[in-house]
Structure 1
């Protein structure tokens, strides 16, 4: 069994007060420990580490240096995944019928739905079905508070600036495995996703991709990741809410086999810090002029002093 967190909160929030920046960052998969309670998993800590977005919250916290809000989950993504829809549940995992309709997606069929079925290809997480009450408790204690906090951050940014740019932060294996759509394929340094254009203005995505390529990184777009539930919920360009998912190839900053950081970590932090500062400046300048804003009549956009 992995270590447990008997009194964990659902999330940690770093950075300035909500609404201090049009940028909002979140990291839903960067917590390593397993919450206490519920059906125990038979997965080992080393097996769970293969799905952990290793140090992604720390990478972005160091890069941002307090300039924008950063929300980080404090529950393991295999326990309940904040980047999956609430109804993305494999009914075969449940000991009782679920009281509402379920809509298991392709992620569930590959063992990576809201509640993870397999820790590795063909290696189950549990030896028995989960009680529906257990899954309901995970939603209420962990999943829902995380989503509520992120929704509040996005709304506060939009109220203050007329728009919000949400960056959903992840890491990815250097080569996809049998639970991924790109099994056996080598991946680029970074992948920027926006649900094939549905979650962000194309000018914003183009700016982000160009800036990351200018920093020397190879950047894929919507392949092998299109974006998950967090991008879907918070990306609505016509309402001036833009959401992008950024995946970082783990070998850029860590030894994946030994699960330790290497010298590339510091360089990545510096590059992402420069990127975040450039993005904030662009939103306050020419890029921000191009993106439509939705301002309530009684709350005009704040001007920088």
Structure 2
């Protein structure tokens, strides 16, 4: 977690850039890297962290691999394929809290884990991360901020797969999502869209992503919690086959810095309008 600042009630979460596989999920250690890294938001922390540190914007990231526990899901997002004894049918959460298959439909889990393993993974990975997110909101509110602004940062494949809402479709540079206008005020949404657009990105809104469990859980504008999801097209900065950075990554990093700086600089004008 970065140094906390309470001057501007703004923070960023990066839930999917971790690559550490816990001992509790040994099946993941046996996978070749191209499969293991298929759905990880690799390098999102690399792209965002320099600007976050420079701007003194608090942020939260994780070391843990999303296939073990997906922090943009909730512990009940499991099915009989992922946890023994689940009440949810096979296939309901293949890319849920514990990933059973990749988005390219490659099998990850050979058999469902025990309920005890599920609970231990929740204690190890899910609870500390989300406790920290709640803490960011609490600290800002304790410092008399009526509204707290939260960007949940992700990356996405450049092309939708059969498991996405947009199979075969090429995607924009950035997708901004607010749970169908429920997770933040339109003023914050418009600011975030403008920030990435003026930074040189082509921005789409709520397609193909509506927002995940993070924005759904924390985005409560009526309670002063303004949360929004931002997806970055992986093809802009990495080779999607080899998972290696492209030379263009440095330029993308600078564009993100412009976007974050714009958001932070404009938020004081917004605080009393939402």
Sort the TM-score into its range (normalised by shorter chain).
over 0.9
Q: Secondary structure at the match of 1:165?
A: strand
> What is the distance in 2 between the residues matched to 1:150 and 1:210?
25
User: Structure 2 length as normaliser, TM-score?
Assistant: 0.92
- Residue 62 (structure 1) aligns with: 50
Moved beyond 4 Å, runs of 4+: 102-105
**Secondary structure of 1:254's partner?**
coil
The residue that corresponds to 1:148 in the other structure is 131
- Number of the residue aligned with 1:295: none
CA contact (8 A) 1:205 1:244 kept: yes
Which structure is higher in strand share?
Answer: 1
Contact 1:87 1:103 in 2 (8 A): no
Q: Mapping of 1:109-188 within 5 angstroms?
A: 109=92, 111-160=94-143, 161-188=145-172
Cα deviations across residues 124-155 of structure 1 (Å, max 9, x unaligned)? 11222211111111111111111111111122
Superposed counterparts of 1:38-53, under 5 Å: 38=25, 40-41=27-28, 42-53=30-41
Choose from 47, 70, 74 the match for 2:63: 74
RMSD: 1.9
Partner Cα separation in structure 2 for residue 205 and residue 231 of structure 1:
12
Q: What is residue 20 of structure 2 aligned with on the other side?
A: 33
Return the alpha-carbon distance in structure 1 between the equivalents of residues 99 and 13 of structure 2: 21
Answer whether contact 2:199 2:258 (CA < 8 A) is retained.
no
Deviations 1:232-270 (A, max 9, x none): 111111111100100000111112122111222111221
Following the alignment from structure 2 to structure 1, what is the Cα–Cα distance between the partners of residues 7 and 120?
Answer: 33
The unaligned stretches of length 5 or more in structure 2 are none
1:254-292 deviations in Å (ceiling 9; x for gaps): 1212211122211122121122122112112x222312x
Q: Rg: which structure is higher?
A: 1
Measured after TM superposition, the shift of residue 120 of structure 1 is 4.7
Q: Matched residues in 1 for 2:155 and 2:175: separation? A: 9
* 1:272 and 2:256 correspond: yes
Structure 1 SS opposite 2:102 = strand
Contact 2:177-2:210 at 8 Å conserved across structures: yes
SS of 2:125 mapped into structure 1: helix
Matched, 1:235 2:196: no
Contact 2:81–2:100 at 8 Å: present in 1 too?
Answer: no
Query: Distance in 2 between the 1:196 and 1:236 partners?
Result: 13
| Equivalent position of 2:78 in the other structure | 89
